[in-house]
Amino acid sequence: MEQVLLYDTTLRDGTQGENISFTSEEKIRIALKLDDLGLHYIEGGWPGSSPRDMHFFKLAENTEFKNAKITAFSSTRRPGVKIENDMNIKALIKSNAACVTIFGKSWDLHVEQIINSNLQENLDMIKETVLYLKEKGREVIYDAEHFFDGYRENRDYALETLMAALSGGAELLVLCDTNGGTLPFEIENAVEDVKTFFGNKNLSVRIGIHTHNDCGLAVANSICAVKSGAVMVQGTINGYGERCGNADLTSIIPVLRLKMNNTCISDENLEKLKSVSRFISETANMTPLNSRPFVGRSAFTHKGGIHVSAIRKIPKAYEHIDPELVGNKRRVLVSDLSGKSNIEYKAKELGIELDADEITASEIVSEVKRLEQDGFQFEAADGSLKILIEKYTKKFKPVFDLISFRVTTEKDKDQPCRAHAIIKISVAGKEEITAADGNGPISALDNALRKALGNFYPGLDLMHLTDFKVRVIDGKDGTSAKVRVLIESRDEEQIWSTIGVSEDIIDASWQALTDSFQYELSTKDKA
């Protein structure tokens, strides 16, 4: 199979997704990551539609890219406009991009009812634009917009549009499922028909594919197109894009490399896939999708006891690839669905030895299931799970013990609420009493606890609470219902989560808060 060329359009098509926007400088940083990943083409934007995109191309001129061709995007010339006067084409030339991607209309409905042109002029627009850009020394990729819809309703004309682009000198003809409504077998049939059409004319043609995910089939459609002879796949990292998104390159790339043995990317670069996915989601300020295939946090996560027992013996029993191939890792959760294998695996992962003469893993499983029945959820709280296992194996040595705390909240008429906390704890046999205030009761407790512990652990200011979640476990009891509090914390080396459950939100928060401090300080103490 010919090497498939990878064409990324995250910086243009991806930014058409809801709530996604990048500055020019962010685009450069993303482009460098994509280049380092080994992609062949990176579409930087539409210079004729956005000053920000034009600024990106100016920055790109002074940036070294080792693998990818930076590509500018635009439409064909407008109806009734001479090509040398078309503002979009002028902007393309001004961008100085060595490679350009031009889209044109393949669907007669769009030609006659959307851009109010006629079928012959549309063919002229396509050919003239490609020819003009070739004369200017550019590599030209032609995107046949709405190709599959046009092919379905007027096959002969859709093929004529491709012929016009090829006659103009386009290096690649990319068939676009712009509405995302085509099915995999339709993709296969159409791509094969296009190749046959040009083959019968003794014309050599290279086909690409560009799909959208409106039926949830963008990745499948892209793979089917490759199977039928496409040599370029266009898509975005994490599938970002308009409406339901574009074909997700984080799935397409490993499928091509690992399942179809295509040399689209090196094994070394494939290992960077998860980190690139995470970098772009963070830059876009989008929460990473845990269930995203290959690169998601849950992609190689096991919860059922039977599954965990099997992967401890032979990982491929429940994993279709080695997670490290794409830069991911295996995770095991502990919950009410867990078995003895989950606890043994998790204890080893957390650095706890389950000796034969200590409490068995089966007994720990029973305790976890009992606590989860009460509302705990240890699959999301590794920090609290570690403390629990250490308590039941007699390895837990508390850094401090609570004697008592008191929290008060006050509000003046025109002022926001303020909370005050007084805590009494025992640290290394010494009693400490401290007070602090905060923006709320949990903030006040956090500040007071830090103040007390800071006298013994001066490095504690490097620890920060990064997330605080409260969930009502069962709402039928109204304000008397149990709540679950999850706290995520981090220092300069690690991230961990802890949990607390109670009918009292302050008590639940205190459980999670103290577990977080116990976890951090015990880890540092052992280090």
Beta partners for residue 212, in sequence order: 246
| Residues 6 or more apart whose Cβ sits within 8 Å of residue 89 | 48, 74, 77, 83, 129, 132, 133
CA distance 402 to 181: 61
- pLDDT for position 474: 73
Crossing angle between the packed helical segments 155-168 and 184-199, to the nearest 10 degrees = 60
- 249's torsion region: left (phi>0), alpha (psi -120 to 50) or beta? alpha
CB 153 within 8 A of CB 109: yes
Question: Six-digit token pair at 478?
Answer: 């109204």
In this prediction, residues 54-58 reach a mean pLDDT of 96
Angstrom CA distances, 202 to 152, 172, 191, 205, stand at 24, 16, 17, 10
- Cα 276 to its chain centre, rounded Å, is 9
CA distance 303 to 336: 9
| Residues 6 or more apart whose Cβ sits within 8 Å of residue 145 | 103, 104, 105, 106, 107, 110, 176, 178
Looking at per-residue pLDDT, the higher value among 376 and 270 belongs to: 270
Length of the chain: 527
Q: What are the pLDDT digits (tens) for 166-204? A: 999 999 999 999 999 999 999 999 999 999 999 999 999
Does residue 340 register a pLDDT over 80?
Answer: no
- pLDDT for position 299: 94
- 253's torsion region: left (phi>0), alpha (psi -120 to 50) or beta? alpha
Q: Where are the domains of the chain?
A: 5-265, 301-375, 397-456
CB 16 within 8 A of CB 52: no
Beta partners for residue 143, in sequence order: 103, 174
Indicate the pLDDT class of residue 362, thresholds 50, 70 and 90.
confident
| Residues 6 or more apart whose Cβ sits within 8 Å of residue 492 | 462
Instruction: Give the helix ranges, DSSP H, for 305-421.
Output: 305-313, 340-349, 361-373, 382-392
CA distance 188 to 141: 21
Residue with tokens 């061709």: 69
Instruction: Give the least confident one: 259-273, 312-326, 407-421.
Output: 407-421
Crossing angle between the packed helical segments 51-61 and 87-95, to the nearest 10 degrees = 20
Other C-beta atoms within 10 Å of 196: how many? 11
- pLDDT for position 168: 97
> Is residue 237 helix, strand or coil?
helix
Does residue 153 register a pLDDT over 50?
Answer: yes
CA distance 219 to 249: 8
Indicate the pLDDT class of residue 36, thresholds 50, 70 and 90.
very high
Does residue 57 register a pLDDT over 80?
Answer: yes
- pLDDT for position 292: 97
Question: Six-digit token pair at 324?
Answer: 């490290």
Question: Six-digit token pair at 249?
Answer: 């390159």
Instruction: Give the helix ranges, DSSP H, for 399-504.
Output: 441-454
Number of Cα atoms under 13 Å in the Cβ half of residue 305: 14
> Is residue 165 helix, strand or coil?
helix
Q: What is the mean pLDDT of the chain?
A: 91
Other C-beta atoms within 10 Å of 110: how many? 18
Indicate the pLDDT class of residue 146, thresholds 50, 70 and 90.
very high
Residue with tokens 């999670």: 512
Q: Tell me which CATH code domain 397-456 carries.
A: 3.30.160.740
Share of the chain above pLDDT 70, in %: 96
Indicate the pLDDT class of residue 23, thresholds 50, 70 and 90.
very high
CA distance 58 to 72: 12
CA distance 106 to 40: 26
- pLDDT for position 322: 96
- pLDDT for position 45: 96
Question: Six-digit token pair at 312?
Answer: 């401890």
pTM for this entry: 0.77
Q: Which helix (H) or strand (E) holds 509?
A: helix 505-526
**CA nearest 220: which of 185, 264, 184?**
184
**CA nearest 57: which of 84, 28, 77, 36?**
28
Please write down the HEC assignment for all residues of 261-296: CCCCCCHHHHCCHHHHHHHHHHHCCCCCCCCCCCCC
User: Starting from the edge strand earliest in sequence, which strands make up the sheet with 400-410, in order?
Assistant: 400-410, 418-427, 430-438
In this prediction, residues 45-60 reach a mean pLDDT of 94
Instruction: Give the least confident one: 130-139, 308-317, 326-335, 422-431.
Output: 326-335
**CA nearest 361: which of 317, 405, 312, 421?**
312
Q: What are the pLDDT digits (tens) for 71-84? A: 999 999 999 999 99
Number of Cα atoms under 13 Å in the Cβ half of residue 238: 30
Question: Under CATH, to which class is 5-265 assigned?
Answer: alpha beta
Beta partners for residue 410, in sequence order: 418
Indicate the pLDDT class of residue 277, thresholds 50, 70 and 90.
very high
Instruction: Give the least confident one: 41-50, 53-62, 332-341, 515-524.
Output: 332-341
Q: What are the pLDDT digits (tens) for 375-418? A: 888 877 888 888 888 888 888 888 899 999 999 998 887 778 88
Beta partners for residue 402, in sequence order: 425
Looking at residue 258, the DSSP 8-state letter turns out to be I
Instruction: Give the helix ranges, DSSP H, for 38-180.
Output: 51-61, 87-95, 108-109, 119-135, 147-153, 155-168
Question: Six-digit token pair at 408?
Answer: 């008060």
Q: What totals of helices (H) and strands (E) does the chain contain, helices first?
A: 18, 16
- pLDDT for position 527: 43
- pLDDT for position 207: 98
Does residue 511 register a pLDDT over 80?
Answer: yes
Angstrom CA distances, 72 to 58, 95, 182, stand at 12, 7, 27
Q: What are the pLDDT digits (tens) for 197-246? A: 999 999 999 999 999 999 999 999 999 999 999 999 999 999 999 999 99
